[in-house]
Amino acid sequence: MRRQNHVFAKGKVAHMRILKMQSKFLDVFLESLSKFGNLYGPTHKNGLLSYNRLENISDLVITDEHPMIPIKKLFHPMQFTMMNFDEKGFTPDYSKIEKRVIIGVHPCEIHSLLILDDIFMREPMDPYYAQLRQNSAIIGFSCLPTENSLCYSTDTDIVEEGFDLFFVNLDEYFLVWVGSSLGHDMIYEREEFFDMDVSHDDIQKYVKWRQKKNKMFKKSFEFDSMPDIMELSYDSEIWEEFAKICLSCGQCSMVCPTCNCYTVTDVFDVTNETRGRRDRFWDSCMFVDYSLVAGGHNFRASRANRLKLWYGHKLKTFGKDYGRPGCVGCGRCVDSCPVDINVLTISEALITKEVPKK
Amino acid sequence: MTLLEAIENPFKPKAARIVRHYDLIKDHRFFQIRHIDMKKAMSFSYNPGQFIMLSIPGVGESPFSISSTPSRPGILELGVRRVGKLTESLFQKRDNDVVYIRGPYGNGFKLDKMVDRDLIIVAGGLGVIPLRSILYYVLDNRDQFKRVFFLYGARTPNEFLFKTEFFQLKNRKDIECLYTVDKSDAEWPHATGVVTKLFKNIPEIDPRETTAVVVGPPVMYKFVIDEFLKLKIPKNQIQLSLERRMKCGIGKCGHCAIEHLYTCMDGPVFTYWDTLHFRELI
């Protein structure tokens, strides 16, 4: 598998501060971050791993597993009130915005936020996303590949930006990348935990860790060639084959960290006919009414066309100005789709012409 | 939260008053609206072909083409078909009632490609609503353009929009207006047949010096574009406006995506050359 070296491809130089912290200090250090905002991170809730507000630092679950619902939910909430209205008009509701420190964010999640930034932060900026983003610190953590991890294929297993601190777990200690001025303030708060001297042994250990990690991936796909393959396969009968089995359930959109689509609904207060709220909800282009306009014309009535749009955004281009496709290789579509339509089966089928039979 | 309040929220619609309304034909109503804030009303600038998002609190928000011309500032004109929940509610509104609007959105027609050229404007059905904007813009700045041809086809005389205005235009010598209906009746004074039949009345043109514009129902585009191509008009000099479902108007909600483009930001006006690169249908 050919991989681009991102550091050189982007013309970037690693100029970040890298420090060392003994593992025994981790909980105390993370607890100290509450000074910078309410702590959030993955916890076990109702038997599922999900991002939640941390009541206690002991609730935090740092693991290689991904929360089922990606980090987008903290920036592009599943449902929230955009504005309240009354006889005087509309008033924006910014009550969800608070200072937050989000702990335990994996590299693919950080990459997904950088992609969502391209959509929500481009002019005119979405003030809800922008404010949630600007008020949140990202404390990243390294992870090792799980069953369906594809981030080696999508080149999103490593991060160089998009975090305030990033912890690489080398067992008895962490290497800590300081990615922002705020991150530097956080370190400064508990300076005594950090060792400025990174030895040659540490470097050796880090290199070994990366080599080990790179060998652990069980699955891969032709991400680099997919834009061309998608273009060449636009009229392929493969899409119809997948359309026959797709349930249009939209689960792929809910679990995909770069699905940004939403719909908007007005709701009157129960007791009032002039007051109410305008709410935003996640939507999915897999739903049949996604492109339906008043008068009854549906621009994407066929399921195959909806699949092409979804996979076009993930594997070909996502937005005119953004060079890369949306897939960050988290593997959630592989975990979640009830009928096994995912970036692996789609890319394999388009290349081999074989639709996997169940 | 003071900083937040200072931020212009692009989703927050502004109050506007219905100045006047009347029915164009059955279930199609013309509205003139004006921002209540007079400064906003006078400074609201737009291009022909752009659209606004119109809200009725509690009912929702939808995109509407602007039918007035920016050369006559202050009042916005819309042509609305009663077709869904929001328009049903809009039809209950009376003069002086308040609605909420934000915009303008989209790119609009490429005026720089029309100046000093012959212009062929082709409208089908409701497509005449956004095209009325460019039509009046051109007439208000008539010296900027060479010959102007306006072709409009409706299904029946009863479905022909802006009949009085457009019939009057026929008296003008500086614009060639050609009207047709698919099915005529005894009183209909103009042509009968589909809009493409009107092309035979267009005199010889220099295709390199001509810009063509078409807006109509999805089924119409192919046939009209074929006529433009027969006239040898280059594909990048054919402009068309596309309809899509929209929720935000500013490239965030995803609904109007055509592959990697957003109709609300990258359109709704595209050249035929642009659309040739789309794998999806118009």
The pLDDT of residue B273: 93
Contact B59 A266 (CB under 8 A): yes
The pLDDT of residue A321: 56
Contact B255 A276 (CB under 8 A): no
Nearest CA in chain A to B16: A89
Give me the amino acid identity at B183: K
Is residue A5's pLDDT more than 60?
Answer: no
Query: For residue B92, what are the CA distances in angstroms to A31, B24, B39?
Result: 58, 16, 28
Contact A83 B279 (CB under 8 A): no
Nearest CA in chain B to A295: B83
Is residue A84's pLDDT more than 90?
Answer: yes
The pLDDT of residue B33: 98
For testing the chain A interface, which of B3, B4, B11 should be mutated: the one with the most A CBs within 10 Å? B11
Q: Which of B254, B202, B259 is nearest to B231 (CA)?
A: B202
The pLDDT of residue B282: 55
Residue A279 domain boundaries: 226-352
Contact B243 A85 (CB under 8 A): no
CA distance linking residue B101 with residue B122, whole number of Å: 28
Residues A248 and A106 in one domain: no
Is residue B6's pLDDT more than 90?
Answer: no
The pLDDT of residue A107: 97
If you count them, how many residues does chain A have? 358
Asked if residue A169 belongs to a domain, the reply is yes
Of B57, B62, B260, the CB nearest to A276: B57
Give kind and range of the element (H or E) at residue B39.
helix B38-43
The pLDDT of residue A202: 92
In this prediction, residue A6 has a pLDDT band, given cuts at 50, 70 and 90, of very low
- Chain A CB contacts of B14 under 8 Å are 89
- Chain B CB contacts of A305 under 8 Å are 280
**Cis, bond preceding B70 (omega within 30 deg of 0):** no
SS3 sequence, A81-110?
A: EEEEEECCEEEECCCCCCCEEEEEECHHHH
Say if residues B39 and B71 touch (Cβ distance below 8 Å): no
Q: Minimum mean pLDDT among A142-156, A186-200, B2-16: which range?
A: B2-16
In this prediction, residue B281 has a pLDDT band, given cuts at 50, 70 and 90, of low
Residues A35 and A179 in one domain: yes
Residues A346 and A199 in one domain: no
Tokens representing B247? 């929720």
The pLDDT of residue A302: 84
Contact A119 B248 (CB under 8 A): no
Number of alpha carbons in the 13 Å side-chain half-sphere of residue B112: 1
Contact B260 A263 (CB under 8 A): no
Say if residues B204 and B176 touch (Cβ distance below 8 Å): no
Residues A157 and A287 in one domain: no
- At how many degrees (to 10) do helices A107-120 and A127-134 cross? 140
CA distance A312 to chain B (A): 7
Region B113-118: mean pLDDT is 94
Residues A155 and A206 in one domain: yes
Region A84-90: mean pLDDT is 95
Give the distance, in angstroms, between the CA of residue A228 and the centroid of all CA atoms in the same chain.
24
Is residue A123's pLDDT more than 80?
Answer: yes
Residues A278 and A195 in one domain: no
Tokens representing B111? 């005026």
Tokens representing A237? 């009968």
Domain boundary at A189, A215, A241, which? A215
Residues A206 and A236 in one domain: no
Q: Minimum mean pLDDT among A40-44, A191-195, A196-200, A292-296: which range?
A: A292-296
Q: Which residues of B touch A (CB under 8 A)?
A: 1, 4, 7, 9-15, 55, 57-62, 81, 83-84, 86-87, 100, 218, 243-245, 247-248, 250-255, 257, 259-262, 266, 279-280
The pLDDT of residue B46: 97
Nearest CA in chain B to A84: B57
Give the distance, in angstroms, between the CA of residue A307 and the centroid of all CA atoms in the same chain.
20
Domain boundary at A165, A196, A215, which? A215
Conformational region of residue B183, where left means phi above 0, alpha means psi within -120 to 50, and beta covers everything else: beta
Region B42-71: mean pLDDT is 96
Domains of chain A: total = 2
The pLDDT of residue A12: 45
The pLDDT of residue B30: 98
Domains of chain B are 12-105 (2.40.30.10), 111-241 (3.40.50.80), 243-282 (no CATH)
Q: Minimum mean pLDDT among B84-88, B216-220, B277-281: which range?
A: B277-281
Asked if residue A358 belongs to a domain, the reply is no
Tokens representing B50? 């752009």
Of A82, A266, A319, the CB nearest to B58: A266
Query: For residue B185, what are the CA distances in angstroms to B29, B126, B155, B163, B215?
Result: 23, 20, 11, 15, 25
Tokens representing B158? 């009863």
CA distance linking residue A228 with residue A241, whole number of Å: 20
Give me the amino acid identity at A160: E
DSSP for A189-225? HTGGGEE----HHHHHHHHHHHHHHHHT------TTT
The pLDDT of residue A358: 55
| ipTM score for this prediction | 0.90
CA distance linking residue A131 with residue A93, whole number of Å: 12
Q: Which residues of chain A from 126 to 165 reach within 8 Å of chain B, CB to CB? A: 126-127, 131
Domain boundary at A215, A238, A257, which? A215
Q: Where are the beta strands (DSSP E) in chain A?
A: 17-22, 38-45, 48-53, 79-86, 89-92, 100-105, 136-141, 165-169, 173-178, 194-195, 262-268, 276-282
Query: Measured between CB atoms, does A292 come within 8 Å of chain B?
Result: yes
Question: Among residues of chain B, what percentage have pLDDT more than 90?
Answer: 85
Say if residues A162 and A328 touch (Cβ distance below 8 Å): no
Say if residues A138 and A163 touch (Cβ distance below 8 Å): yes
DSSP letter (8 states) at residue A125 = P
For testing the chain A interface, which of B100, B219, B253, B278 should be mutated: the one with the most A CBs within 10 Å? B253
For testing the chain B interface, which of A264, A310, A316 should be mutated: the one with the most B CBs within 10 Å? A264
Residues A211 and A151 in one domain: yes
Of B7, B83, B253, the CB nearest to A295: B83
Give CA torsion, residues A126, A127, A129, A135, to 10 deg. 150
Residues A35 and A112 in one domain: yes
Contact B60 A266 (CB under 8 A): yes
Please compute Rg for chain A using Cα positions. Answer: 22
For testing the chain B interface, which of A234, A259, A264, A299 should be mutated: the one with the most B CBs within 10 Å? A299
Give me the amino acid identity at A348: E
CA distance linking residue A115 with residue A167, whole number of Å: 22
Say if residues B76 and B33 touch (Cβ distance below 8 Å): yes
Contact B280 A131 (CB under 8 A): no
- Chain A CB contacts of B59 under 8 Å are 266
Asked if residue A357 belongs to a domain, the reply is no
In this prediction, residue B4 has a pLDDT band, given cuts at 50, 70 and 90, of low
Terminus-to-terminus CA distance in chain B, angstroms?
45
DSSP for B40-96? HHHH----TT-EEEEEETTTEEEEEE--S-TTSTT-EEEEEE--SHHHHHHHT--TT
Asked if residue A282 belongs to a domain, the reply is yes
- Chain A CB contacts of B79 under 8 Å are none
Number of alpha carbons in the 13 Å side-chain half-sphere of residue B31: 27
Q: What's the whole-number average pLDDT of chain A?
A: 90
Residues A139 and A240 in one domain: no
- Chain A CB contacts of B257 under 8 Å are 285, 309, 313
Is residue A181's pLDDT more than 80?
Answer: yes
Q: Which of A166, A151, A145, A339 is nearest to A257 (CA)?
A: A151
The pLDDT of residue A70: 97
CA distance linking residue B38 with residue B19, whole number of Å: 13
Residues A187 and A235 in one domain: no
In this prediction, residue A13 has a pLDDT band, given cuts at 50, 70 and 90, of very low
Asked if residue A103 belongs to a domain, the reply is yes
Place of tokens 């007005």: A266
The pLDDT of residue B160: 96
- Chain B CB contacts of A274 under 8 Å are 57-58
The pLDDT of residue A197: 87
Asked if residue A221 belongs to a domain, the reply is no
Residues A211 and A245 in one domain: no
The pLDDT of residue B218: 85
Nearest CA in chain B to A85: B57
For testing the chain B interface, which of A121, A126, A228, A232 should be mutated: the one with the most B CBs within 10 Å? A126
* Tens digits of residue pLDDT in B195-254: 999 999 999 999 999 999 999 998 899 999 999 999 999 999 999 998 888 889 998 998
